[in-house]
Each structure stands twice: as structure tokens, then as C-alpha cells.
Structure 1
Amino acid sequence: MSEMSSRKLRTIELLAPAKNYEQGRAAILCGADALYVGAPRFGARSAAGVPEEEIVRLCDLAHRFGAKVYVAMNTLLYEQELADAERIACRMWNAGADALIVQDMAFLRMELPPVELHASTQVCNTDPQRVRFLSEAGFTRVILERALSLGEIGRLSRAADVEIETFVHGAICVSYSGRCYMSRTMGPRSGNRGDCSQSCRLPYDLLDERMRPLERNRHLLSLQDMNATGQIEELIGAGVTSFKIEGRLKDENYVRNVVGWYRRKLDGILARRDDLRRASEGISTLEFEPNPAKSFSRGATAYFLGGVHGGVASFDTPKAFGEPLGKVIDVRRDSFRLPSRTALSAGDGICFVTVSGAPGGTNINRTDGEWVWPNRMDGIVPGMELYRNYDHLFVSAVGRSRLRRTIPVTASVRVGPSEAELALSDGRMQVTVARHGEFAPARQPDQALQALRTQLAKTGDTIYDVVSVEVDQDTVRFVPISLLNELRREAVARLDGMRLQTFPRRERRSEHREVLFPAEVLTGEENVVNSLAERFYREHGVTRIEPGYDLRRDFRDLSVMRMRYCLRREMGTCLKEHPAYKGKLYLRHEQHLYELQFDCTRCMMTVVYRGISPGSDPVAEEAATPVAGHGGAGVRIVPVAPSAVQVPGTRRMRRTGKKKR
């Protein structure tokens, strides 16, 4: 056996979002190898829950192409929700789901069918020990935190025999996933419960230690969107097998465009590498040229894949700015002039930052050469940089384009004096259908042969494309067109049913109960909020568990965000570079005050909630204190006083041998 033939092929998957059947269908037809959808309840995007009947339809469609459907149930579960979550998880398996994406370890103590489990990015998957533990605890796949570098991703992928999934496109959470409680400081909404208020996208004042403003009303925690197009092959080299597009709350045109873009990128890599294979089958035909710059985007960044650096935030606005058009050359009362290379058209949307620093925008009414007539001229001045955040012609082309994805099949037909037989093959399986009758030699053999080939190649709106018709007969015989159509329809239906019935669904990996969790103490940041999750961790060696932060009413003096993003670095005042000001920094939004703390050794920033800002209305302070609800009922969790919590030490992965201290 040659070295090439003995090498294990790696399967590469393009994973797309779907908030409903139509969006999921578009993603599959544009080339997605898998979908992730929200369950009817308990998904981390509560507004993107998909009805069960639509999930059934998506599974039927996807499985015909060898594609998969993963169902997100990745919120924290309060005690009174455990029974409902278990019932829904069982129904998702019966609907055809290929895996559940989960954050709460309660799912590993439920009575579930053998559905595969994926560890959500909400688990905050950042270190090799935890990835190894999750692998041995029963997870088939680990979805990584977005802030990791290529080197760190490589170390995690080598840590265990587990699939590695990473985001490559879309919105970035500034905080480590699953470690953000900032929404809860402003009200009852929680990102860990599927209802993030997007507090990181709000405007803040930056204050010094004497509460003097250094910046006012800037979106200091709002990041640009991820676009890892240029790092795909490096991510493959780092061990990533699934490439995930964010966007379950975005529209269908976004999904069509971005999925089409990454499908072409991955296909180009797969075409020249014989050590990789695609995760599903089918050829997608697009009637538009994909361009991610023309879909919703706050700007494009590969974030920290190449290491930490500045220039990843979008201080001016959390909204989509779009593609740059160039600078305004001249203005008149009702129009402005752009460089001649710029192509704007009526209906386009443009945006800009005004002289005062505020975002502005308008629509285009008409154009004539270099001159553009907008709906209004407010704020547009010479020298201003303009951006197009809505390309009317492109969006129209994407929306009206016919989507088609087909499975190539070959047809083989044999016609004898008393029987006509048709075989269809997709390369993996074959079906054969036949009809008896009297088939006399054709009076016009050439026309009969052409009719036979033409009719057998007509697959209509099915997902199959007959790419060749082989005729096995010495004498060309006449077969009625109606009979040829009947043979073709039956063969296609049987092949379609066989593909669906034989689709393999993997089952959940066994849990090794003797494996120790790599920490003895779980702080409230780990968010254990129900008895089943508590039982899971205790059975894996955790001795002390602090109640999860999402059970709290008061978040004052707690870390409500931890992140690799650093505001000092972003603003050019990194403490390692000896800035002029080294004092404390604070963020303030309305009455809420947050202290920024910097760990330069680990290059990490922490946001600590300090309550209501001095001088605010004391009545507002009481109103701002959120209530956690009834989630703690029945949870037997040992509180840990802040002074008693020790830094978790490393542990051996199995109970054999002594613990490392």
C-alpha cells in the first residue's frame, strides 16, 4: 500500500446557521455541509428557535446530501426546566438531529437517546486539559472560544481525540464565551440564558481614576466582525475540521452570500489536496458572485488568529459600515462627487462618520458619472470617507437567484425484446427498475436513441443530475416516452429513499466516569445552576461548587467579563509600552460603572462591576438590581467565600496516581 493510500483522510465541514426552514434550505443548497439550528427552547439565541416540524424537514433535506443538522440547546438550565429540556432533547433525536450543542452538563445526567453531544463555545473552551476532559466525558466535538490564536488552536486539537470546530465568520463576543454577565448588571436578561442584551455594543464613557472623562459616548467594547478567509488553510493545519459561520439572527441573503463564499474557498483547497475530503455531497450552482463585504459587516478582522494586536474594535458604531467607497472630492447643495472608479446606483445605502464623530447615513436617489444625489446631504463634507452598507443591485441579484444543488448520477439502460431496465448510480449505491413488454426494433434508430437519452436525463426539480446515459443494446428498440418517464421517476424515487434511509447517524461517545475534572473548585463564574450539573461535576472529582453567577441578584464587585481584547492596547496605551497614564480606568454607561483591570502577564482584561456611578439617582440603583428568578430551587451547591476560593490546581486525568499540587 502506498503512503498516499494509507494516509487517513480528514473530513472538512462547512457549518452554516439557520433560523428557519427557508434559511436552512438556502444554506444547504449553497453548499453547507451541516446546519446548526436552535431547538424550540433553550438555544443561546432565544429569538432563533426553530419549530420541531421545520427541524424534521431540514434533517430530511440535509441527509439526502449527506449533510448534518446540529440542534443548539446551549443555555443554562434552571432546576424547574430540566424535565422540559430532557423531553425536547429526546424529540430532537426523533426529529433526525445529528447532535445537540450544549453548555450545561446537566444533559450528561439526563435519560437521553444516544444523541451525539457537542460542547458549545459557551463552555469557554480555551485550554488543553478541559478539551481532554470533555472528550473523555462523552463529547464528540469541542467548539472553541473565538479569541484563540492558531498556535493555541493547534495545541487544543492535539490534546485529545475530538473534533475541533471554530468560528470563521460573523459577530465576535468581546468576552470569553459563557463568561459574560454584563447584561445581568443592567437588567434580568442573560446571555447564558439565550437573551443577551448586547451590552458590549452600547456606548460608554471612558473615565480615569478621578472619574474624569477621557472618551465620551464611544462603543469601546464593540468589535469588528470576523472574516478568516485568509486563514482557512492554516486553521486546517491547526487541526480544525468544522468551519462555522455565525448568523442565526441574520437574513437569508447573508446566509446565501457567506455560505457561497466559503464553499468556493474550501472547494479550492479540497481540489488540490488529496488528504482532505468534503463532509457532504452535491454540486451547488450559484447565479451570483459571492462577496462577504456586501453582507452585514462591522468591518473584517481575523481577530487574534495571528496573535494579539490592536485594530479589532469599531468605536464609532456597532452597526454595519460595509465596503469603503473612497473620499468625497467635492460637494454641492444637493449632491457630492466621488472618484470615478466608484460605482454607486439608485437604492444603495451609504454611511460615514461625521465631523463630530457621530455615525451618519443616507440612501442614493440617482447618479450621473462621478456625481451622486443622496436622499439628504446632512453631514457630508469634502474629504470624508464613505462606505456602502447596502448594495441594492447585489442584494437584488442574490435574492432572486435560483439555488440548485445536485447529486451527479449515471444512468445505464438495457432494452431487450421483452424487458426494459434502468439502473441509476450515485457512486455509492445503485437502484434498478424494470418493465416487461414488447419492444420492437426502432424504425428510426437515431431518433429513438436520442429520445431515450433525453428523457432519462430529465430529472426536473429533484436533487439529482443525470450526467451520463449508457445504453447497453445491440439493436435500438422503441420505448414509449411515457414508459421512459415512468422508469426514470421510479428509479429516482428509490434512489432518493435509499439515500435517506441509509444516512448514518453517529451515536454519543461513552463517558469515562473515572476521569477527573481538571479543577477541584468551581467558582460562580462556571455557572453551575442545577442539581444535575452539580452531580456531574461531583462525580468527576470536584469537591466545592460556588452557586453560579446567573443565580445572583447583585453583581457588584464581581468580574462580569474576561477577555483577551484589551482597551489599552486598542487605544495605543498598553502598559507594557510605558504610556503616559498608568492609573485606573473605568467605563460608564448611564448610571452603571465598571472598573477595567489588566493582567499584562496573560494579556487579559477583566471588567468588574462597581454598581451605580457616583452622583446617579439612588432609586435607579435599586431598580437596576436584577432578579435571577427561581432557578436555584433544589440545587445542593456549597457556597464558597471569596477568601476561601483557591486557584484551581492541575489534576491528573484519571484517578490513578497522586494529584499534582
Structure 2
Amino acid sequence: MIKLPELLAPVGGPQQLIAAIENRADAVYLGGKLFNARINASNFENEDLRSAIEFAHIRGANVYITLNTLVNDREMEQALEYAAFVYKVGADALIVQDIGFAGLLREHLPDFSMHFSTQGTVYNLEGVRMAERLGARRVVLARELSLNEIEKIAEQTNMELEIFVHGALCQSYSGQCYLSSMIGGRSGNRGSCAQPCRLPYSLLSEGGDGRKTLSGKGYLLSPKDLSSLEHLSQLVKTGVRSLKIEGRMKSPEYVAIVTGTYRKYLDALAEGAGSAVTPSLADSKAVKQIYNRGGFTTGYLFSKPGRDLITRDRAKHEGVYLGKVVGRDERMRSVQIKLEDELSMGDGIEIVNDALPGNLVTMMQKNGERIQHAEPGETINIGYVDGPVKRGDLAYKISDKALNKKAGETFSGKYLHRVPVTGHLTALLGEPLRFQISDPDGNQIEIIGDYVPVSAINTPLLPETAKTQIAKTGSTPFAMAECTFVIGENVSVPLSEINSIRRKALDDLIEIRRNRYPNRTAPQIVTGTNGKSAECKNIAEIGSATPRILSVYLYQWKNKEVMESITADRVYLPVFSLFDDDHAAAVKRFKERGIQVFAAVPAVTRGVEDHMLKERADSLQKIGIEGILIGNLSQVELLADARLPLFGDHSLNIYNSESIKKVAEFGLKGGTLSHELNLAEIQQMDGFGIEIEATVYGRVPVMISEHCPIGSELSDRPDSINCGLCLSGRYLLKDRMEAEFPLIGDPISCRCTLLHCDKLYVPERITDLTLAGVTTYRQYIDDESPEEIIRIGALLQKMLLGENSNPSKQKGYTKGHYNKGV
């Protein structure tokens, strides 16, 4: 029998917890009311959390608590106190995103297992190693990895690896999406994503002849849901420790059906010694019926899916295809459908058109007679449906009453899933009655009763009778898998005594299983003010003696006029372009003008890109590069031999003082503050002797995606790979509010970066940022003209020099999060 990975189920509330455990999840992940990335789920109050952990532990499941958001300085102590609470009440691990919080967690709760969240954007072996340096014992890998990449990482590390196998996919790399935050103030990194990726967009092009709409409105950023049910054998062979189901915002029925189905086929896989198991059509249909978004995808497990990743036409639950509308009676509010699937009263249907009319089925007729159920091939009238419907519209069944009822039985409180235990009764003449019980986790209980068996006057205790009494586990979460006994000759024992000693043993076993970590005590959290370490210095103190630097980040190489218009102290240039000998001259020209030149590494580098960074980083110094801006912690290891100072980009999500401390410990000489911080939060932060950078101008990145909408919409190739279209012009996505978001495609990786629709411009904040200790002020340059670059650069330079302390207000720009934050 092969060793199976853990099946990890989502829990958004108490009913989902029961559904997951009753359908035999090995572990669950859930959140409290604070600091979790699904803050809009029901979640658990503290005392309910304690009960949830006990419920799961008694039944043999692990519980992982989500503390997977960014934490600011003011919240840090509260976050640690919450971590200490869940540690004390028995959580098996804490899922963490914030690198600063991770450092404090290791310091205060060193034996508390930490899982580094998928929000940490770990996609290679070096990233896993950096997570280990943070103190993690498990890493949740990025959902964009292929099976081959996952397997290669697993072969080269002893760290536990966890991967998503089912549920919603994000368009962006997790932890790198700021779209919801920047346009609506609801941050995914703070647990309140509004999912603007599920809204419609149009693709535009921009060129010498103006703007053109290249595609009609569609859900161009909305991926289908992931399903790996048919590929479990391949997933198991990768060597990962845990298979994770997404869905803490989903219903208990969803948790029940999906968890139960994956459990069924994992067990079948184990029984078949790893041979591939094909799910039945009924089980595949049930999983699709309970929730799918435009069908299912295998994501990036086997290749880049291109346009097949995207739902495009609908970004909501689709259900299963029911049939085609062949008639409509407006007066009776009924539709006539030729069925291609079964339908019953109480099922939910939806008609696919712009209005998406639908309802629960409360009337079914065939040949004028009322019916309760209909089979495929039948043509029936269904009511009641309001809204526009026409012949030829497609109908989908979006809920199945019988399926939901079946799922509901697993979380109805009957507790059908039992932990197998072994019982042994000893009844010897003249010795106290004894009962032993053991469970699969190695716990053993022995109860020595007060009753001493005596010689039977009438009927002695028979083995069959003893076995029957031992096997009675009642409403406990146990099932007696095996009963053994030693019974003396002609011994008499009242059945009430056997029942009493058995009940006492089961109660004691429940108590041991409930209290999995009996020696844990909550440590006293002493961090200084608001979670800050005693050795922190205010960044204003550090910054006061540091020269002010104006930097420019170029998304792409521009023409000579744009390059010559830059008057900053430092320029960041795309690193992979710098490996081209043709750009050495441009670097030289910048340096001749007294401008530092840094290489900017993207937030995601994989495969060939990682190899290039490792093998060719030393060549950067030779052409005059003076530093490297890194976008991911993995690049600390990748660039260890670069012999150039490393600086952290905003994509490291530096959101608090402890994150600054952590990147300094990793050897970075500077760090760019998160774009989601407000001014008050920056003013509270402490520093550790490194350069602190803040963005004051330009289109900030709001998403980095492995999927390219340009190729997906326009390429002739289904996988959209290496189509080269991103080199042929400028592209934008337009949302329903007419806002336009520039797209920057990468012809090497076919990755895509989405920029903010509005340019940030906060010259009036430079004085406040300077007083807060910021040392470097960044401009992002995208489509600006040389004249605009010169004008903005000159104003910002004056602000840095204190020559213009009250700039005029600028219209048409955003102030980002400096005023409100997230």
C-alpha cells in the first residue's frame, strides 16, 4: 500500500468543519475573526475555535489556522497574542504570509509549526530554502507550477510541500495582486479581496492610429476552477506532503462532496498500489454540479493552458448542462426544455443569456400532467422563470436537491465517521476487572475497575456476551474495530460493570485525544511597543543622515529621447535585457551622467530565467551595474554570487518594521515599502540601517500573471505561448467603468504584468515621507513623453531639496493608499 499525502479541506464555519471531518479529511484549515485571507467567511470566535480544534483532534484530523495576511506595526502584538492563543488551544500549525511576523513567531513560539502561505509566492527550490530560513516547516507552493517543477523541488528538499488540487484559481500569483486594493481599497493581502478579476474587460490596442477595441467584453481575467481528480496518481508520485482543496467561502455541501470524492479516490489509489484510478462519471458529475466556474481546468499542471484557462463568458457557478430551450410561455412563466440531463422538483436552473434568468423548479409538466422527475431525452415544461428567454437558449442545472440532501446528511450531527479502536477486557476470578483500549495514534488507556469478578452461581460471562458489550460505543466518535478478551473459568461479571468500565475508557480516550498537546502553555508576549523589537531604530533616525535619492523604474527599454530625459539619481533597468550586449552602451551613458544603474529582477522568475540569473549575474558588474533590485526572496539565494548589493522591491510585501529587519538579516541593503501602506503606518515603522524606498509617481503594478490576455485573445495558438504579439504594440484592458489598465507582456516567459489604470502622484507627501525617514523616492515610467518625464522629475527634485514645499494640486492622478491605506 502506498503512502498517501494528506487531504486538506477548507473550513469557513462550523458546518463546513463537520462536513470536512465526516468526509474524512486528514486535516482542515480555518481562520478566526482576525488576520486571515478570507475575512468574509463565517470563521470562528476564539472559544468556538477551541471547540473546533478539539472536535477535529478527537476524530484524528489536524487543524491549521490561517494568519495569512500582512500585519502592520500597530497590529503586531495583537497578532502574536492571537498566535499564542491558538498555540495554547492546540492548533497543529499556523499558516503565515508576512515575513516579519514569521520572524517574531519563531522567536516567541519556536515549537509552533509554521506553514508559509501560497501568498508568499514560492515557485522554486530557492524560495523553499528561503522559507526554511524564515522558520517554516511547510511551504504552500504557487498554483502556477507544473507537475515536473513540483516533483523536482520535492526531490531536492526535506521541507513539507503542499499544493492546491481543487477549487478557485487566482489570475495573479498569490501575494502579488493589488488590483482590488488599488481600485477599491479592499486588499487581498489583508483578507478582503473584492475579486475584480471576476468582472468583464475588453482588450484594447494603442498605436499611431489611436485606440482600437480588439475584443468584446468578456471575463478575460477569470480562470476556471481547478480540478485534479483524474490525475491523483501523478500528484501522489510528486512526493508532496499535502493536497489542498480551496474553498473557505464555499458551502458545507461543497466541502462534503469535494472532500468525500477526493478521499474516495485517494483510498482507491492506495488500495491499487498507486495505479491510476479513473473517477466514475457520477462522481465527476457530482463534483462539477456542486461548484464549477465555466467548467474545470488542470491549470498549469501539464502546460500553459492559454485561452482554455479562462471562463470568458461567465465568471460564476455554471452547474451542468441541462438542455436547450425549445419553447416559452410568458403568461405561464414557464420554459420548455429538451433535457440532456435528469431534473427533479427543487433543483435550480439558469438560462444562459445576458439576463441569466433562473429559479428553483417548483413546477414540472409533461404532456400537460404534473411530474416530479424527468429523464434525459424528455421534453418538459418548467416553472417558474421570469425574465427574457428565447428558443435556442441553453439551460444549466445549477443546483441538485438530491445531491445537496446527500451531502447534508454528512454534517447533520449524526457523526457517521468513527475512529477505529481496539478493546481488550480481562475478567479473572479474584482480580479487579480491567479494560484496555487503543487508537490508531498510539494512545492507550487502561481502566482498572472496582468490581472483582466472582464465581458464577447461574450463568457465567460468555465470550459472545463480552464481545457484544465491549463493541457498544454509543454516540462516541469511536468504532470498536477489534475486541479481544481474557475470561476466567466460570466467572460472573454484571453487564453493567462491563458497560461502566468501557464508558470510562472511552471518555478518557476522548480526553487524551482532545488535549493533543498537554504541555503547551501560552508564553508571555513581550515585544516592546506595538510589537517592535527593542533594537529597532525609527527610520527617521536612520534616514536623517542618509542622502535623498530619486529613482526611476523603467518597465521596458525606451527610445533614446526617453532615456536622455531621465534626471534621477538612480535608474532601474529590466535585468534580462541587460544580458544583451547592445544595452551596455546605454548603461555607460547613464553612468557618465552620474546616474546609478541597478538591475531590476521581476517578482517571478522561473526555469530559464532562474538559470540566467545564476549563471550570468556576475556579468552585470562588468557592464557597470551597481546594485540589484530583487522581486522575490528566492533571488537572495539565486544571486548569492552576484557580488552586488541587493535591494528588495515592493513585491516582497514589506509592510512592517519586522519585515525590514528580516530583509536586513538576509543581507539586503534596502527595501521598498509596500504600496498598500498609508503615511501613518510608515511613520510608525522602525528601521535597521538599510535604505528605505517609497513610490511617489507612476503606474504601480497591480498584478503579475502567468496567463497573458494578449496572446489568449489574439494568438492563433491555443496555448498562446511565444506568439510575440506583446512586441507589436501597446495593449490595455478596459473595465466596465471605462478605466484602462496597461498590459506589459514578457516575450521570454509569456508572463504578463497589469499596471494601475491611474498614475500615482504625491509630490506633496515627500516632506512627510522624508520626516518619516524614507531615503529613496521612486518614479515608475510607462508611457510618459520625454517632456513629461523632465517636468515631473524636476518637481520631485525640488521637493527633495526643500525648494518647493507646497506643490500645486495635480488633477487626473491617484494618491494611492497614502491617505487611507487598507
TM-score exceeds 0.5: yes
Q: 1:462-473, aligned counterparts within 5 Å?
A: 462-473=476-487
Matched position secondary structure for 1:106 = helix
Q: CA deviation at 1:261?
A: 1.2
- Say whether 1:408 aligns with 2:420: yes
Equivalence for 2:654:
528
- Decide which moves more: 578-587 or 462-471: 578-587
Which of 108, 124, 130 is the matching residue for 1:112?
108
Compared with structure 1, are the counterparts of its residues 601 and 195 closer, same or farther at alpha carbon in structure 2 (3 Å cutoff)?
same
Compared with structure 1, are the counterparts of its residues 639 and 193 closer, same or farther at alpha carbon in structure 2 (3 Å cutoff)?
farther
In 1, the alpha carbon distance for the partners of 2:85 and 2:148 equals: 39
Q: CA deviation at 1:322?
A: 0.9
Instruction: Indicate conservation of the 8 Å contact 2:4/2:270, yes or no.
Output: no
Which of 702, 709, 712 is the matching residue for 1:567?
709
Q: CA deviation at 1:462?
A: 0.7
Equivalence for 1:344:
343
Q: 1:508-519, aligned counterparts within 5 Å?
A: 518=638
- Say whether 1:425 aligns with 2:414: no
In 2, the alpha carbon distance for the partners of 1:504 and 1:602 equals: 51
In 1, the alpha carbon distance for the partners of 2:237 and 2:189 equals: 32
Matched position secondary structure for 1:167 = strand
Equivalence for 2:757:
610
In 1, the alpha carbon distance for the partners of 2:22 and 2:201 equals: 42
Compared with structure 1, are the counterparts of its residues 640 and 60 closer, same or farther at alpha carbon in structure 2 (3 Å cutoff)?
same
Q: Number of paired residues?
A: 602
Which of 584, 587, 592 is the matching residue for 2:739?
592
In 1, the alpha carbon distance for the partners of 2:122 and 2:260 equals: 28
Residues 280-305 of structure 1 deviation map (CA, whole Å, 9 limit, x = unaligned): xxxxxxxx999211212212111111
Equivalence for 2:619:
none
Equivalence for 1:146:
143
- Say whether 1:305 aligns with 2:451: no
In 2, the alpha carbon distance for the partners of 1:634 and 1:103 equals: 29
- Say whether 1:388 aligns with 2:397: yes
Instruction: Indicate conservation of the 8 Å contact 2:358/2:386, yes or no.
Output: no
In 2, the alpha carbon distance for the partners of 1:85 and 1:634 equals: 28
Bigger RCO of structures 1 and 2 (CA < 8 A, at least 6 apart):
1
Compared with structure 1, are the counterparts of its residues 358 and 220 closer, same or farther at alpha carbon in structure 2 (3 Å cutoff)?
farther
Matched position secondary structure for 2:429 = coil
Instruction: Indicate conservation of the 8 Å contact 1:79/1:635, yes or no.
Output: no
Equivalence for 1:57:
51
In 1, the alpha carbon distance for the partners of 2:352 and 2:457 equals: 75
Normalising by structure 2, report the TM-score.
0.68
Matched position secondary structure for 2:30 = strand
Compared with structure 1, are the counterparts of its residues 580 and 88 closer, same or farther at alpha carbon in structure 2 (3 Å cutoff)?
closer
In 2, the alpha carbon distance for the partners of 1:468 and 1:109 equals: 47
Instruction: Indicate conservation of the 8 Å contact 2:649/2:671, yes or no.
Output: yes
In 2, the alpha carbon distance for the partners of 1:634 and 1:452 equals: 81
Q: CA deviation at 1:348?
A: 1.4
Compared with structure 1, are the counterparts of its residues 206 and 552 closer, same or farther at alpha carbon in structure 2 (3 Å cutoff)?
farther
Which of 494, 499, 509 is the matching residue for 2:508?
494
Residues 106-141 of structure 1 deviation map (CA, whole Å, 9 limit, x = unaligned): 123324222111111111111221112212331111
In 2, the alpha carbon distance for the partners of 1:141 and 1:559 equals: 29
In 2, the alpha carbon distance for the partners of 1:211 and 1:297 equals: 35
Q: CA deviation at 1:213?
A: 3.0
Q: 1:68-107, aligned counterparts within 5 Å?
A: 68-107=62-101
Q: CA deviation at 1:547?
A: 1.4
Matched position secondary structure for 2:36 = coil
In 2, the alpha carbon distance for the partners of 1:632 and 1:250 equals: 42
- Say whether 1:601 aligns with 2:598: no
Equivalence for 2:170:
173
Compared with structure 1, are the counterparts of its residues 197 and 416 closer, same or farther at alpha carbon in structure 2 (3 Å cutoff)?
same
In 2, the alpha carbon distance for the partners of 1:486 and 1:536 equals: 57
Matched position secondary structure for 2:86 = helix
Instruction: Indicate conservation of the 8 Å contact 1:261/1:290, yes or no.
Output: no
Instruction: Indicate conservation of the 8 Å contact 2:698/2:779, yes or no.
Output: no
In 1, the alpha carbon distance for the partners of 2:213 and 2:319 equals: 30
Amino acid at match of 2:243: F
Normalising by structure 1, report the TM-score.
0.83
Q: CA deviation at 1:643?
A: 8.0
Q: CA deviation at 1:350?
A: 1.5
Amino acid at match of 1:295: I
Equivalence for 1:481:
495
Q: CA deviation at 1:577?
A: 4.6
Compared with structure 1, are the counterparts of its residues 71 and 19 closer, same or farther at alpha carbon in structure 2 (3 Å cutoff)?
same
Q: CA deviation at 1:156?
A: 2.6
Equivalence for 1:44:
37
Give the gaps of 5 or more residues in structure 1: 276-287, 508-514, 613-620, 645-661
In 1, the alpha carbon distance for the partners of 2:234 and 2:772 equals: 44
Residues 84-109 of structure 1 deviation map (CA, whole Å, 9 limit, x = unaligned): 11211111211211111111111233
Residues 292-328 of structure 1 deviation map (CA, whole Å, 9 limit, x = unaligned): 1121221211111111023121122221111122334
Which of 181, 185, 188 is the matching residue for 2:182?
185
Instruction: Indicate conservation of the 8 Å contact 2:336/2:382, yes or no.
Output: no
Compared with structure 1, are the counterparts of its residues 37 and 328 closer, same or farther at alpha carbon in structure 2 (3 Å cutoff)?
same
- Say whether 1:374 aligns with 2:383: yes
Matched position secondary structure for 2:667 = coil
Instruction: Indicate conservation of the 8 Å contact 1:124/1:176, yes or no.
Output: yes
Compared with structure 1, are the counterparts of its residues 113 and 214 closer, same or farther at alpha carbon in structure 2 (3 Å cutoff)?
same
Q: CA deviation at 1:413?
A: 2.1
Equivalence for 1:294:
289
Matched position secondary structure for 2:291 = coil
Q: CA deviation at 1:247?
A: 1.1
Q: CA deviation at 1:76?
A: 1.0
Equivalence for 1:398:
407
In 2, the alpha carbon distance for the partners of 1:521 and 1:101 equals: 26
Q: CA deviation at 1:443?
A: 3.1
% identical aligned pairs: 30
Backbone CA RMSD of aligned residues: 3.4
Equivalence for 1:659:
none
Instruction: Indicate conservation of the 8 Å contact 2:697/2:778, yes or no.
Output: no
Equivalence for 1:547:
673
Q: CA deviation at 1:476?
A: 4.7
- Say whether 1:557 aligns with 2:686: no
- Decide which moves more: 362-371 or 67-76: 362-371
Amino acid at match of 1:241: R
Residues 161-200 of structure 1 deviation map (CA, whole Å, 9 limit, x = unaligned): 2111111111111001111111123122111111111111
Compared with structure 1, are the counterparts of its residues 581 and 412 closer, same or farther at alpha carbon in structure 2 (3 Å cutoff)?
closer
